[in-house]
Structure 1
Amino acid sequence: MDFSIIRCARAILHVTDLAASRKFYVDALGFIETESDSEHIYLRGLEEHTHHSLVLKKSSEPNVEVLGYKVSSDDDLKALSKMFEEKGYETKWMDKGEQHAVGRTLRVQDCSGLPLEFFAEIEPTERLLQRYDLYKGARMQRIDHFNCNVPDVEKAQKFYQDELGFACSEYTDTEDGDVWATWLHRKQTVHDQAFMNGIGPRLHHIGFWLPDPLALINACDVLASMGYGDNLERGPGRHGLSNAFFLYVRDPDGHRIELYNGDYLTSDPDFKPIRWDINDPMRQTFWGHEAPDSWFNEASSVLDVITGKKIEQKPAKLKQHKPTFVI
């Protein structure tokens, strides 16, 4: 390949009330607010040295504008653009200055209809990893992954592996050998991008890395004490897949955020993907408890990068199988 994708790097979520979102993300979860204006809040984790990893953008309804990946250089952007255009994808360039704190950016809809962007440049900022006096809420460290519902998981997996250079760490398949969910990575952990069989394209959740499992427990206490008990959707618990501790919360607009800690290294070139049978209950939650119905039925809609309109959602290729869970 003529390009190198480094990692998942940022997301832009449309929210309806910036004040309510600030209270949830900054005061409760503990994100650092780098900057804000009347239309945006730019957030980052304590470990991050870049301007932001999450943008909350004021809008009339909640949607996902884009899921962003960092690449090494502008040459990578040109090579990505060439690849997408040769395969018939319509691309959109945004020059430096069109988006705050981010350089030249390539946007495109992927094979499932998810809105992607790629960029090499983002403004640096002070890393606050050892500013322990600023730690609060979930002690948010950094963005870790995206997880999306798509109608055809095998199609998405093949595209990301063959065309974008992702590797598979773990996957779930059915009795018939169909891939139900897959965990793909560019950085050397379990995943940057996961796909789950379902109505889509939709964003199921964004995962953020925490310093330790106790941060998840502290987040539960803080959220409950601030009146966000109903926003605690699933967990805390441990996944079989990835072995990570998790907690899933819903923001005031319903966007799902995973608080995540404790997966493993996938750097060796001879690492073999781990298969999980869809009927194995320990893959979903290692401790055995089930997810609520909202887990299967609710996710965030996504926008077209060219028109800005909501993407039409399609039914899943495989029949629904409620016991499945993703991370």
Structure 2
Amino acid sequence: MNFDIIRTGRAVLHVTDLDKSRAFYDALGFIETESDEENIFFRGLEEHNHHSLWLKKKPEAAVEIISYKVRSEEDLEKLESFFTKQGSEVKWLEKGSQKALGKSLRVQDLSGLPVEFYAEMETVDRMLQRYDLYKGAKVQRIDHFNCMVPDVEKAYNYYIDELGFACSEYTAGEEEKIWAAWLHRKPSVHDVAFMNGPGPRLHHVGFWLNDPMSLINGCDVLASMGYAPNIERGPGRHGLSNAFFLYLRDPDGHRIELYNGDYLTSDPDFKPVRWDLDDPMRQTFWGHEAPDSWFDEASEVLDVHTGKKIDLKEPTLKKRKPTFVI
């Protein structure tokens, strides 16, 4: 691995009604960087890049891309060489072809997920100390992706051995087969998680909050605006990662997690935490059990070359009690 992936960067989601989407994400406390009749660009209060969430108006909801920031354009060239040698077809998007973004590289990863890498994005004013703009859950920054894939162990090995990610926590079952894994590049619990299930699909995008009260305030604001039915799960605390959480569904069903309270993983002698599949503490440290929709539903993803939805594959591990991933 001779390229430097920094962190989770942005998600590009297709939505069917920009006005409804704007009202929902504004209620959560996102900053709208700019918009037009077809697009809205959102960021968190502490983010200095142009956006971390791009909503595109389309006839059908889907996930266009999940993106990672790399250190330099040289890393993009190295990634192109890496994927090409493996037989993967890459797609270049030149600077100026996407709003605010420099040159980027797109590819379908090993699991079929549409993944993008970029080094440059326009910078904007950081709103961290604009406390007069704080509202809703006061969303600070993008934190991670959670992806449902048919073979978690295959994705786990590939992202660690080939792309240079590290594991913070994982769930193992019989014969030590990996059912779920939390992998990171930045020094936190995860930039991406993989969970066992029909895929490839995007389960959720996680956004970081300052503190648990921001999450509670977000619930109050959402309920007062009629969005209580959009709260799918939580608030509660995960056993895995120790995070305080809330899961929401936006007007098109895309799942958003509001997230706070994990820990540092930067020490070179850090050892991944193993959870047994049958350990109830892995699911919820406290809080209500997850509804069936949380295990069964996720956003479908697009082919980076054709723009069509990727066909789902059934998981290789035998279905049993659902695995919890954050």
Structure 1 length normalisation: TM-score? 0.99
Q: Distance in 2 between matches of 1:5 and 1:321?
A: 34
Q: Distance in 1 between matches of 2:287 and 2:40?
A: 38
Q: Distance in 2 between matches of 1:260 and 1:122?
A: 24
> Any idea what SS the aligned residue of 2:175 has?
coil
Matches within 5 A, 1:105-254: 105-254=104-253
- Equivalent pairs counted in the alignment come to 326
Q: Deviations over 1:191-229 (max 9, x none)?
A: 000000000000000000001000111111111111111
> Any idea what SS the aligned residue of 2:41 has?
strand
Unaligned runs of 5+ in 2: none
Q: Deviations over 1:159-206 (max 9, x none)?
A: 101111000000001133110000000000000000000000000000
Deviation at 1:134, TM superposition (A): 0.4
Unaligned runs of 5+ in 1: none
Q: Deviations over 1:2-49 (max 9, x none)?
A: 2100001000000000000000001x1010000001111000000000
Which residue of the partner structure matches residue 296 of structure 1?
295
Is 121-130 or 279-288 further displaced after alignment?
A: 279-288
> Any idea what SS the aligned residue of 1:264 has?
coil
Which residue of the partner structure matches residue 281 of structure 1?
280
Aligned 8 A contact 2:234 2:287 in 1 = no
Which residue of the partner structure matches residue 22 of structure 2?
22
Which residue of the partner structure matches residue 58 of structure 1?
57
> Any idea what SS the aligned residue of 2:174 has?
coil
Q: 1:182 to 1:281 in 2, by over 3 A?
A: same
Aligned 8 A contact 1:279 1:323 in 2 = no
Deviation at 1:100, TM superposition (A): 0.4
Is 281-290 or 205-214 further displaced after alignment?
A: 281-290
> Any idea what SS the aligned residue of 2:156 has?
helix
Deviation at 1:152, TM superposition (A): 0.1
The question of 1:101 aligning with 2:103 is answered: no
Q: Distance in 1 between matches of 2:11 and 2:324?
A: 22
> Any idea what SS the aligned residue of 1:305 has?
coil
Deviation at 1:325, TM superposition (A): 1.2
Aligned 8 A contact 1:9 1:69 in 2 = yes
> Any idea what SS the aligned residue of 2:32 has?
strand
Q: Distance in 1 between matches of 2:97 and 2:286?
A: 47
Deviation at 1:288, TM superposition (A): 5.5
Deviation at 1:321, TM superposition (A): 2.7
Q: Which aligned runs of 4 or more in structure 1 are off by greater than 6 angstroms?
A: none
Report sequence identity in percent: 72
Matched AA of 2:37:
S
> Any idea what SS the aligned residue of 1:48 has?
coil
Aligned 8 A contact 1:296 1:322 in 2 = no
Deviation at 1:313, TM superposition (A): 0.5
Q: Distance in 2 between matches of 1:318 and 1:296?
A: 15
Which residue of the partner structure matches residue 268 of structure 1?
267
Aligned 8 A contact 1:18 1:40 in 2 = yes
Which residue of the partner structure matches residue 6 of structure 1?
6
Aligned 8 A contact 2:235 2:287 in 1 = no
Which residue of the partner structure matches residue 49 of structure 1?
48
Q: 1:175 to 1:289 in 2, by over 3 A?
A: farther
Q: Deviations over 1:214-260 (max 9, x none)?
A: 01111111111111111000000000000010000000000000000
Matched AA of 1:25:
Y
Q: Distance in 2 between matches of 1:83 and 1:247?
A: 37
Aligned 8 A contact 1:150 1:198 in 2 = yes
Aligned 8 A contact 1:281 1:288 in 2 = no
Q: Distance in 2 between matches of 1:149 and 1:202?
A: 5
Q: Deviations over 1:264-313 (max 9, x none)?
A: 00001110000000111111110153100001110000000011010010
Structure 2 length normalisation: TM-score? 0.99
